[in-house]
Protein backbone atom coordinates (compact mmCIF):
# COMPACT_ATOMS: atom_id res chain seq x y z
CA UNK A 1 0.00 0.00 0.00
CA UNK A 2 2.88 2.36 0.68
CA UNK A 3 3.90 2.05 -2.97
CA UNK A 4 0.42 3.03 -4.12
CA UNK A 5 0.48 6.09 -1.88
CA UNK A 6 3.71 7.27 -3.50
CA UNK A 7 2.35 6.66 -6.95
CA UNK A 8 -0.80 8.65 -6.22
CA UNK A 9 1.33 11.76 -5.72
CA UNK A 10 1.82 11.98 -9.49
CA UNK A 11 -0.79 14.24 -11.07
CA UNK A 12 1.27 15.66 -13.95
CA UNK A 13 2.75 14.14 -17.09
CA UNK A 14 5.49 15.94 -19.01
CA UNK A 15 5.96 14.74 -22.58
CA UNK A 16 8.89 14.90 -24.92
CA UNK A 17 7.77 15.43 -28.54
CA UNK A 18 10.10 13.83 -31.09
CA UNK A 19 9.51 10.07 -31.34
CA UNK A 20 7.11 10.22 -28.40
CA UNK A 21 4.25 12.33 -29.74
CA UNK A 22 5.47 12.82 -33.29
CA UNK A 23 7.57 10.51 -35.44
CA UNK A 24 10.90 12.13 -36.37
CA UNK A 25 13.73 11.11 -38.65
CA UNK A 26 15.76 13.26 -41.06
CA UNK A 27 15.58 10.35 -43.50
CA UNK A 28 11.83 10.92 -43.94
CA UNK A 29 12.66 14.11 -45.86
CA UNK A 30 15.77 13.21 -47.78
CA UNK A 31 14.61 9.82 -49.02
CA UNK A 32 12.19 11.84 -51.15
CA UNK A 33 15.07 13.85 -52.64
CA UNK A 34 17.94 11.39 -53.04
CA UNK A 35 17.03 8.26 -55.00
CA UNK A 36 20.32 6.40 -54.72
CA UNK A 37 20.41 4.51 -51.39
CA UNK A 38 24.19 4.65 -50.98
CA UNK A 39 24.26 8.37 -51.69
CA UNK A 40 21.40 8.88 -49.24
CA UNK A 41 23.22 6.98 -46.51
CA UNK A 42 26.40 8.99 -47.15
CA UNK A 43 24.50 12.29 -47.05
CA UNK A 44 22.75 11.44 -43.76
CA UNK A 45 25.99 10.22 -42.19
CA UNK A 46 28.13 13.19 -43.25
CA UNK A 47 26.10 16.27 -44.18
CA UNK A 48 22.66 16.63 -42.60
CA UNK A 49 23.19 14.58 -39.46
CA UNK A 50 21.29 14.52 -36.16
CA UNK A 51 24.38 15.90 -34.42
CA UNK A 52 24.47 18.87 -36.78
CA UNK A 53 20.75 19.47 -36.34
CA UNK A 54 20.95 19.30 -32.53
CA UNK A 55 22.74 22.66 -32.65
CA UNK A 56 19.36 24.18 -33.49
CA UNK A 57 17.85 22.58 -30.40
CA UNK A 58 20.48 24.43 -28.40
CA UNK A 59 19.46 27.77 -29.85
CA UNK A 60 21.66 28.26 -32.91
CA UNK A 61 20.08 29.76 -36.04
CA UNK A 62 19.78 27.82 -39.27
CA UNK A 63 21.36 30.68 -41.21
CA UNK A 64 24.58 30.21 -39.26
CA UNK A 65 24.67 26.43 -39.11
CA UNK A 66 23.78 26.04 -42.78
CA UNK A 67 26.45 28.53 -43.87
CA UNK A 68 29.05 26.52 -41.99
CA UNK A 69 27.81 23.29 -43.53
CA UNK A 70 27.76 24.71 -47.04
CA UNK A 71 31.37 25.82 -46.56
CA UNK A 72 32.24 22.17 -45.85
CA UNK A 73 30.03 20.69 -48.58
CA UNK A 74 29.45 23.36 -51.25
CA UNK A 75 28.10 20.82 -53.75
CA UNK A 76 25.27 20.08 -51.29
CA UNK A 77 24.12 23.70 -50.93
CA UNK A 78 20.66 23.19 -52.44
CA UNK A 79 19.96 20.07 -50.41
CA UNK A 80 21.09 21.76 -47.21
CA UNK A 81 18.78 24.73 -47.89
CA UNK A 82 15.82 22.37 -48.15
CA UNK A 83 16.20 21.34 -44.51
CA UNK A 84 14.66 24.51 -43.17
CA UNK A 85 11.99 24.95 -45.84
CA UNK A 86 10.84 21.34 -45.61
CA UNK A 87 11.65 20.53 -41.99
CA UNK A 88 8.10 19.41 -41.24
CA UNK A 89 8.63 16.53 -43.64
CA UNK A 90 11.08 15.05 -41.14
CA UNK A 91 8.06 14.73 -38.81
CA UNK A 92 5.40 13.05 -40.94
CA UNK A 93 2.81 12.20 -38.31
CA UNK A 94 2.02 11.17 -34.76
CA UNK A 95 3.28 8.04 -33.05
CA UNK A 96 0.58 5.38 -33.18
CA UNK A 97 -1.76 5.49 -30.19
CA UNK A 98 -0.27 8.53 -28.49
CA UNK A 99 -3.09 10.97 -29.32
CA UNK A 100 -5.60 8.69 -27.63
CA UNK A 101 -3.45 8.48 -24.50
CA UNK A 102 -3.03 12.26 -24.30
CA UNK A 103 -6.76 12.76 -24.77
CA UNK A 104 -7.55 10.24 -22.02
CA UNK A 105 -5.12 11.88 -19.62
CA UNK A 106 -6.59 15.29 -20.35
CA UNK A 107 -10.13 14.02 -19.81
CA UNK A 108 -9.02 12.45 -16.51
CA UNK A 109 -7.83 15.86 -15.30
CA UNK A 110 -4.12 15.09 -15.42
CA UNK A 111 -2.01 18.21 -15.99
CA UNK A 112 -0.05 17.90 -19.24
CA UNK A 113 3.11 19.75 -20.24
CA UNK A 114 5.77 19.44 -22.92
CA UNK A 115 9.55 19.53 -22.59
CA UNK A 116 11.32 19.14 -25.91
CA UNK A 117 14.71 19.60 -27.48
CA UNK A 118 13.45 21.55 -30.50
CA UNK A 119 14.59 24.48 -32.61
CA UNK A 120 13.05 27.84 -31.73
CA UNK A 121 12.83 28.59 -35.47
CA UNK A 122 11.26 25.29 -36.48
CA UNK A 123 8.82 24.99 -33.57
CA UNK A 124 6.13 27.57 -34.57
CA UNK A 125 5.50 26.19 -38.09
CA UNK A 126 5.51 22.66 -36.71
CA UNK A 127 3.13 23.48 -33.84
CA UNK A 128 0.66 25.32 -36.07
CA UNK A 129 -2.50 23.38 -36.80
CA UNK A 130 -1.84 20.44 -34.47
CA UNK A 131 -4.73 20.18 -31.98
CA UNK A 132 -3.01 17.47 -29.92
CA UNK A 133 -0.95 20.22 -28.30
CA UNK A 134 -4.07 22.09 -27.20
CA UNK A 135 -4.26 19.63 -24.29
CA UNK A 136 -0.99 21.00 -22.90
CA UNK A 137 -0.87 23.77 -20.33
CA UNK A 138 2.61 24.82 -21.46
CA UNK A 139 5.47 23.53 -23.62
CA UNK A 140 9.09 24.40 -22.93
CA UNK A 141 11.25 24.45 -26.07
CA UNK A 142 15.00 24.06 -25.64
CA UNK A 143 15.94 26.35 -28.52
CA UNK A 144 14.00 29.21 -26.98
CA UNK A 145 15.75 28.80 -23.62
CA UNK A 146 19.19 27.78 -25.00
CA UNK A 147 19.18 24.82 -22.64
CA UNK A 148 18.96 21.20 -23.74
CA UNK A 149 18.13 17.90 -22.10
CA UNK A 150 19.72 16.26 -20.18
CA UNK A 151 21.21 19.43 -18.63
CA UNK A 152 19.69 19.61 -15.12
CA UNK A 153 19.05 23.32 -15.64
CA UNK A 154 16.31 22.67 -18.20
CA UNK A 155 14.41 20.42 -15.79
CA UNK A 156 14.75 22.98 -13.03
CA UNK A 157 13.42 25.67 -15.37
CA UNK A 158 10.52 23.44 -16.42
CA UNK A 159 9.51 22.75 -12.82
CA UNK A 160 9.66 26.45 -12.02
CA UNK A 161 7.71 27.52 -15.09
CA UNK A 162 5.13 24.75 -14.78
CA UNK A 163 4.80 25.43 -11.03
CA UNK A 164 5.32 21.76 -10.17
CA UNK A 165 7.27 19.78 -7.59
CA UNK A 166 9.36 16.84 -8.85
CA UNK A 167 7.29 14.30 -6.91
CA UNK A 168 4.17 15.36 -8.82
CA UNK A 169 5.62 14.62 -12.24
CA UNK A 170 6.13 11.75 -14.64
CA UNK A 171 8.44 12.54 -17.55
CA UNK A 172 8.04 10.59 -20.82
CA UNK A 173 11.00 10.59 -23.21
CA UNK A 174 12.43 8.20 -25.79
CA UNK A 175 16.05 8.84 -24.76
CA UNK A 176 17.24 7.17 -21.58
CA UNK A 177 19.79 9.89 -20.80
CA UNK A 178 16.96 12.44 -20.73
CA UNK A 179 14.96 10.28 -18.34
CA UNK A 180 18.01 9.99 -16.10
CA UNK A 181 18.47 13.76 -16.20
CA UNK A 182 15.00 14.21 -14.76
CA UNK A 183 15.47 11.48 -12.17
CA UNK A 184 18.45 13.36 -10.76
CA UNK A 185 15.95 15.99 -9.66
CA UNK A 186 13.43 13.45 -8.35
CA UNK A 187 11.17 13.35 -11.42
CA UNK A 188 9.81 9.88 -12.17
CA UNK A 189 10.47 8.73 -15.72
CA UNK A 190 9.04 6.49 -18.41
CA UNK A 191 11.50 5.45 -21.13
CA UNK A 192 9.16 5.53 -24.11
CA UNK A 193 9.12 2.60 -26.54
CA UNK A 194 5.51 2.50 -27.71
CA UNK A 195 2.05 3.65 -26.72
CA UNK A 196 1.01 0.26 -25.37
CA UNK A 197 3.75 0.08 -22.71
CA UNK A 198 3.16 3.73 -21.78
CA UNK A 199 -0.53 3.04 -21.34
CA UNK A 200 0.22 0.14 -19.00
CA UNK A 201 2.55 2.33 -16.93
CA UNK A 202 0.00 5.13 -16.67
CA UNK A 203 -2.67 2.68 -15.59
CA UNK A 204 -0.36 1.19 -12.97
CA UNK A 205 0.23 4.69 -11.61
CA UNK A 206 -3.51 5.33 -11.36
CA UNK A 207 -3.51 8.13 -13.93
CA UNK A 208 -6.36 6.64 -15.99
From CA 146, how far away is CA 55, in angstroms rounded? 10
- On the question of pLDDT at 188 being above 70, the answer is yes
Distances (CA, A) of 203 to 7, 20, 169, 180: 11, 18, 15, 22
Mean per-residue pLDDT for 44-62? 97
Structure confidence by residue, pLDDT tens digits, 2-48 = 334 344 589 999 999 999 999 999 999 999 999 999 999 999 999 99
Domain boundaries, the chain: 2-24+93-204, 26-90
Specify the pLDDT at position 177.
Answer: 97
The model's pTM is 0.93
CATH class of the structural domain 2-24+93-204: alpha beta
Confidence band for 1, pLDDT divided at 50, 70 and 90: very low
For 160, the 3-state DSSP assignment is helix
Mean per-residue pLDDT for 111-134? 96
- On the question of pLDDT at 174 being above 90, the answer is yes
The answer to whether the CB of 164 falls within 8 A of the CB of 66 is: no
Structure confidence by residue, pLDDT tens digits, 148-168 = 999 999 999 999 999 999 999
Specify the pLDDT at position 200.
Answer: 97
Amino acid sequence: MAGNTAISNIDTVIFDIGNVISRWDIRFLYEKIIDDSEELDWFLANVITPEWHFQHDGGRNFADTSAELVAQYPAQKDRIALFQRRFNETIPGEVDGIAQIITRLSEAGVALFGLSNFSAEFWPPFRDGKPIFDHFKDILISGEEKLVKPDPAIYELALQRFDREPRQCLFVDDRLENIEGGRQLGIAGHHFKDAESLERDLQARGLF
